[in-house]
Chain A
Amino acid sequence: MTWFTLRQFRGQAITAATVLAAFAILLATTGPRLVNDFRSSGLSACHLNCGALVTRFTSDIQNGGSTIYVFLFYAGIVVLYLVPALIGAFWGAPLIARELETGTYRLGWNQSVTRTRWALAKLAIVGLASMAAAGLLSLMISWWASPVDTAINYGGPNAHSGLTRIDPLVFGARGIVPIGYAALAFALGVTAGLLLRRTLPAMALTLAVFVAIQILVPTVVRPHIIPPDHATTALDAANIASLTVRNGGQMTVTGPVSRPGAWVISNQTITRSGQLFTGPATSACIGPNARACTSWLASKHLRQSLTYQPATRFWPLQWIETGLYLVLAAALGWLCVWRVRRRQA
């Protein structure tokens, strides 16, 4: 069954290898410059207040290579979110659906191989290939982007610059979680194909469900996998990050964040009694007299309430989430084998 599964998978494997190789060449030719720029920026020796060095590094990148590095940085993220979805739709969904659709399962199930082995071989071989492809891609992109990721983790002039590698937008395109995504997307595809018995609807369902998971997990699940840290500190009225006053005097004040590399889940300004501070603003904060506004704010004894995942949780979160996806994928795989065994042809 191994030989035959590989034979059936050959075309798809060649396509994947070609794409991976092209990507590897692109990253290998552009990556070393990032490493050099990072080294010459002096960031690796920096421990405190590295903002200026980060600025120098980022401007170095953009001067020499125009926007190609910025483009590649974002392209890498997009590709790593896209690849598991494509694996689910193009490797997972047709795996069994096409056999059911064309009737060839009736040929396969009458060779001297039990259905269990038939299903296990397909799931294991193509499933492992999916994980390997996503893992390789993530390894290449994580390596390429590591100077940028490190620089962002030091914190730029705006300490909370957003795209730290633990940030939801980047997290899924780094480290080992893409392996989990690929395994789950693949298992979803196979399951959808087995239940719907037709390739195209199964591909559509796989994409829809997987996109829903990609949106729900970072927003609903991930913040709570490890309970986030809280910090409540006095708000320095002279040093606030943003201040907006809406018509009607409603006011929002946001304090600065100095937690380099952290994923800030919420950053609220609360009153002494613990309520969310919403104003109303005094006339001082509407007019041009900034100092009057500052002293008025200082008199309110506001506090900053921060909910965040510190940068050090990147790897624990990666392992837990990957494990979660792998367990789900294995459960779906088991369901598929059970269904193939029970299926009435």
Chain B
Amino acid sequence: MDVLKAWLTLWGLLLRRPVISILLGMVYLTTVLLIVVAAPGKRGALVALMSAFVAGGLSAVLSERIRRHCLAAGSLGIPGHSQLMHRTQGLFLILFVAAPGVVACALGLSPLTTAVTLLLGPAVGIALSVYGLWWIMLVPALGRFDTHTEWVSLPITQAAGAAASLWFIWRWFELPGRSERIGQEGPVRLGDSRHERAIRHSGPVQRSNIAVDLFDPHAHDAVLPTIDPNIEAERTLPAAFATGLGYSVRTNWRFTAYGTAAGMTALIGWHVLRGGQAEITSYVMICMVCGVSLVARLQSILQRWMRTSTEQAILRIAPLWPDPAQVKRAMLGSTLLVQRGALAAWAAITLCGWALDLVSNTCVFRAALALAGTSLAFSGSLWATLARRQVREWHTATVAIGITVGSGALIAAFGAPLLSLHVALGLALMLAAPAAALAWYLLAPARIPISVDPRALSSRPTSI
């Protein structure tokens, strides 16, 4: 009976979601196809690797859902909830780590390699979900070892990796209890009906890119006089919305300059340490940081629009609230304005690296494609989300835009041997989906206040 309950919980939290089911099916189908064409000696490694990716992704999603449910369960005082979550976590590990491990071993992979591969996946997923994305900045350190890959195959390294992953997974079992305790202590506002589900009051400590403003409550007092008194002036609308809905479209140029300087230092320092012209590891990492920064700013806009439906309702009935077309244009302007800093920093670092002959033309071209793809994919996803009647957690449109733009970027960057017009085709693919999303957003009725599915609102971050 406990196993059945755990299965039903796992199903409800994770597998019931169409996006997850579809992606899971696609990954498993790809794995089977690869196994068929792979050499017999590689099949075990293939199973372990693909299963590790699956376990990593699913564990990240599952951690987020467990945390959210346990916060609510803690506030409601539901008995035995954390025990059920522990059983669910155990079942997850059996299904997505132990079972593929047995298959990989049966296909000839050594038990130690199997263990480290399959444990590393969920450990990384848990770390991503629980500790956030900042620790990914440590990855460049691994670049020191990228030419000495033999260390990865050392038994001692693998044993250490497996042990560290196991420790992470062990700590993961503390997540339900800890989240429930936080739920008990924190102020939780409960709605009075099913369609107004329990939503954690995000308050002044929620994730936002305007953390500085939150800790300096008078910052917006200083901003307000700079807003044109005639709020209907379209030129100032992005800034006016940002002030009213709690985000910022301003670019912190000083911070951008510091970041650019740090990036240039890293690029040059890396070159001095490692030598050679085609030192792409550090440059790739710098581009990734720019991409993450750009995505964070775009996501902050979406998050704030999702979390401020009450404020939008108040403003929507004000006599000087602009007409829907102006609101849409202002939103469009906001999505472009918030990307300025990251793009400027990337351009400056790239120019420096290119001028000093630290990065090749091909490398710059591919990095530009990657960054443009990131910008287009996430902007398109934002527009598609806002065009919908109800903002939900996942949309097929978001996945489709990501896949199309990603495919376009890959074709443009690497399609040379196969296609003669690969750049044109790739760029067309990159632009098509975001352009469609933009057209959808501009044509769809303006949804203000935004109707948000409560499941799409994430809880306050916690740590284990």
Q: Do A and B come from one complex?
A: no
Please list the residues of chain A having a beta carbon within 8 angstroms of any beta carbon in chain B: none
